[in-house]
Amino acid sequence: MKIAVIGQSLFGQEVYKELRMDGHIIVGVFTIPDKEGKADPLAKEAEKNGVPVFKFPRWRVKGQAIPEVVDLYKSIGAELNVLPYCSQFIPMEVIDNPKYGSIIYHPSLLPRHRGASAINWTLINGDKKGGFTVFWADDGLDTGPILLQKECVIQPNDTVNTLYNRFLFPMGVKGMVEAVRLIAKGEALRIQQPQEGATYEGIQKKDNAKINWNQSAETLHNWIRGHDKVPGAWADINGQKITFYASTLLDNGSSPRGQLLEIPGSCRPGIVTKEGLVLFGNDGKALLVRSLQFEDGKMIPAGQYFCLGSNAAVELTEDEKKFAEEIRAVWKSILTNVSQIEDLTDFFKSGAASMDVVRLVEEVKLRTSSFQLQNEDIYMNTTFQNFIQMCVRKLRGENDDQDLIVDYVEKDINNMIVKIPHQLFINGEFIDAEGGKTYTSMNPTDGTALCDVSLAQKSDVDKAVAAAKEAFEDGEWGKMNPRDRGRLIYKLADLMEEHQEELATIETIDSGAVYTLALKTHVGMSIQTFRYFAGWCDKIQGSTIPINQARPNRNLTFTKKEPIGVCAIIIPWNYPLMMLAWKTAACLAAGNTVVLKPAQVTPLTALKFAELSARAGIPKGVVNILPGSGAVVGQHLSDHPDVRKLGFTGSTEIGKHIMKSCAVSNVKKVSLELGGKSPLIIFSDCDIDKAVRMGISSVFFNKGENCIAAGRIFVEDSIHDQFVKRVVEEVEKMKIGDPLDRSTDHGPQNHKTHLEKLLEYCQIANMEGATLVYGGKQVQRPGFFFEPTVFTDVQDHMYIAKEESFGPIMIISKFRRMWMMS
Ligand code: NAD
């Protein structure tokens, strides 16, 4: 068949090529004039093949066909006009001229969406089905008889682009070719278009693509995707015309975490999250937009809205702008391979290495003496824009701490004001638990309420793990030079030292630890632990391992030590801060991120630690603290698929349970530090003074709440009575009382249930026939005080010989030496 192709674009080109491949003769191609000297793809292809190409700017003037144009058209002698995407108005003289008439491609299921922008309207209307029609041309109103139609299901997040590329283009080309084939075979249909369901819509332009926010989320979503990518739906936000792309409907109703963005005309502000901008319809449902475009054409991931010259960023003064330009030149001189330093240029992605970090710090130092830059400041502000914002904030003397909002419980105690955070610490912020759930933390010294603490729920665990995962995978922590990570941990240790009296006071009122011991051990050793591990950061190395040279030989075996990811830490109540330090410090030094659950009864030093970690500049999400119950928070951490390792310190019973959960969930790595019942054996030839001293400290240290306590003491029979007498004399001298009093030896037990357990423990011992030598009772004063206690005549089969008391109870057994060393 002799065919005239009247159309344009890649679609026209493909139809043209396919028709030629199908054996038809293209006698002429009619397309649009060249734009900026560039021919349309259809024209280009036809010119290549030597097919006559006509580029009329128009076919009609004032509604009348231009005679010369019509004559030129007639001269090619086409038997059929094929119109793939024809944007011009073709006169009826031309349409009706060929023997077989004219067929047109239209990207909707006619009679729906007659007129322009049919794909846009299909999506804007939320049609569930779309497709295209090949119809016999009419006078331009898309009402001609239908030759064939093909339909497809519209996906919920289809955009104009995806629908076109997935179906309307490839299947449309095939449809046109099939239509021509049918005509050639004399089998083409002519089905009159029904009137029912007919719509006619106008062309969608940028001007009428403004978003009306007072609609349901689904309508908003359809509007945005129905304009995506052309012409783009937009709104005025913060005085800027912002165009929205890549919308998806969100199905859950929960409010995501992020920074609020006022959307004029919307019933709720939007939320800028890592994934994008969450917007709300007037039905309360939400959609997520992933890309935004500014008027100057710059496109950004919507999640970065606030990083980019929005109202959250500081407006620079003239002097600061000058400073910024100087620094831009410094960046340029360092990043030699980058042609231009844009606001979004990323220091490290542009090839900077740790040497360049030092250079940048020094270059900035040369230009200003008013603030000190640390290497980590660069790791935390890697784009030029963020870097300048950080420098300007420092220039103005703004304190980073201002970002951290802490709702303190303040106590005037121990000659100081202690400021205690009491909310969950997730992603660098103190926040309430889901549903505002709280519980009361008690002061064991007088049994009074200390403060209400947020009680983490399962969803809070999910949030914290997600924050830790993000901080590990995308945050600066991982990118940071290990030495700089070490510096941050040192800084944290310094801050803990600065706050050591406050930390020790909080530890005392929360756990009952004697203040001087808390200062030296609970807090002092925690600081030392962080210092020690800070030094390890840049000394973590693997090794090459000799192996046998089996075939294939020249094998190389080596270990490379890498951080594992999100680590969960679950700790007990006896040394709340120290247990945290032992596990957290090592974890952080290796580059992991942490979600820690303190014991429910002693959460306060962990929360103070969280505050100090933020002040030290540990990036958000790296440390997360969740006060809560073992059964909910601890269990969910053990089960969580995104937790890669769990470190647990606590009882053997719970340890077994946790190990099982870790295995069943995702075979996460687990390390357990559990209960004990270590013996201390005292022979008759010992230094008795020393033996008494050691015996007492190994049982009564930290009121017996000690995992390495001497759980049993075996004393050789010949010195047994003397030992017991001496111990009792010493115990009698112990000063029991207020742990904040510097002369107190023995403070209250950690919490009420523990005290009750100790009383029960002694009852069992009495029943089983152990001899109570001293104590065994609650001290008659407010609070949870238990007398230091001594039992003797303990036999191996007895309960107290086997079970850990975890309290101030000395359990003595007499032994006789049965053999002598030769
Ligand atoms: P515990 O086992 O009852 O509690 C420890 C932690 O585990 C708490 O945070 C608790 O909330 C949590 N937990 C409870 N049930 C859980 C579950 N199903 N899933 C996950 N987490 C859960 O122990 P405790 O009474 O707090 O502490 C005393 C025990 O800790 C003693 O046995 C003591 O010897 C031991 N301990 C050992 C060491 C050590 O280094 N080996 C140090 C201190 C204490």
Q: What is the pLDDT of residues 242-295, one digit of tens each?
A: 999 999 998 765 667 778 899 999 998 999 887 889 999 999 899 999 888 887
Mutate which of 439, 573, 574 for ligand 1 pocket (most atoms within 8 A of beta carbon): 574
Sequence-ordered alpha helix ranges (H) in 627-745: 635-639, 652-666, 688-700, 717-733
In terms of Cα–Cα distance, which of 735, 664, 678 is closest to 514?
A: 735
Mutate which of 638, 701, 707 for ligand 1 pocket (most atoms within 8 A of beta carbon): 707
Catalytic residue among 320, 470, 501, 673: 673
Catalytic residue among 391, 587, 707, 762: 707
Sheet holding 146-153, edge to edge: 53-54, 25-30, 2-6, 80-83, 102-106, 129-136, 146-153
CA distance 509 to 420: 11
Q: What is the pLDDT of residue 311?
A: 39
Whether 707 sits among the annotated catalytic residues: the reply is yes
Residues 55-87 pLDDT 10s: 999 999 988 999 999 999 999 999 999 999 888
Query: Residue for token digits 């710090």?
Result: 361
Q: What is the pLDDT of residue 553?
A: 66
In terms of Cα–Cα distance, which of 140, 147, 213 is closest to 178?
A: 147
- The conformation of residue 424, written as its DSSP 8-state character, comes to E
Q: Residue 647 Cα, ligand 1 centroid: separation in angstroms?
A: 11
Catalytic residue among 106, 522, 746, 754: 106
Residues 580-612 pLDDT 10s: 999 999 999 999 999 999 999 999 999 999 999
Q: Residue 599 Cα, ligand 1 centroid: separation in angstroms?
A: 8
Where does ligand 1 bind, in terms of residues with CB under 6 Å? 570-574, 597, 599-600, 629-631, 634-635, 638, 649-651, 654, 657-658, 673-676, 707, 804, 806
Q: 164, 107 in Cβ contact below 8 A?
A: yes
Residues 160-204 pLDDT 10s: 989 998 999 999 999 999 999 999 999 999 999 999 999 999 899
Residues 131-148 pLDDT 10s: 999 999 988 789 999 999
In 10 A of CB 620, how many CB atoms? 22
Q: Residue 653 Cα, ligand 1 centroid: separation in angstroms?
A: 9
Name 527's Cβ contacts closer than 8 Å, sequence gap at least 6: 493, 496, 497, 500, 581
Cα distances (Å, whole numbers) of residue 185 to 85, 96, 104: 24, 20, 18
Most confident of 104-108, 298-302, 405-409: 104-108
Q: Give me the sign of the Cα torsion angle 139, 141, 145, 150.
A: positive
Q: Residue 659 Cα, ligand 1 centroid: separation in angstroms?
A: 13
Mutate which of 646, 651, 656 for ligand 1 pocket (most atoms within 8 A of beta carbon): 651
Neighbour-count burial for 278-303, b at 16+ CB within 10 Å, e otherwise: bbbbeeebbbbbebbbeeeeeebbbb
CA distance 361 to 368: 11
Q: 457, 437 in Cβ contact below 8 A?
A: yes
Q: Which helix (H) or strand (E) holds 678?
A: strand 678-682
Q: What is the pLDDT of residue 397?
A: 73
Is the bond leading into 231 cis (omega within 30 degrees of zero)?
A: yes
Q: Which residue has the higher pLDDT, 481 or 489?
A: 489
Whether 106 sits among the annotated catalytic residues: the reply is yes
Which atom of ligand 1 is least distant from the CA of 597? 9
Q: What is the pLDDT of residue 265?
A: 92
Q: Residue 571 Cα, ligand 1 centroid: separation in angstroms?
A: 6
In 10 A of CB 314, how many CB atoms? 15
- What's the Rg (C-alpha) of the chain? 39
CA–CA–CA angle 614, 392, 273 (5° rounding): 55
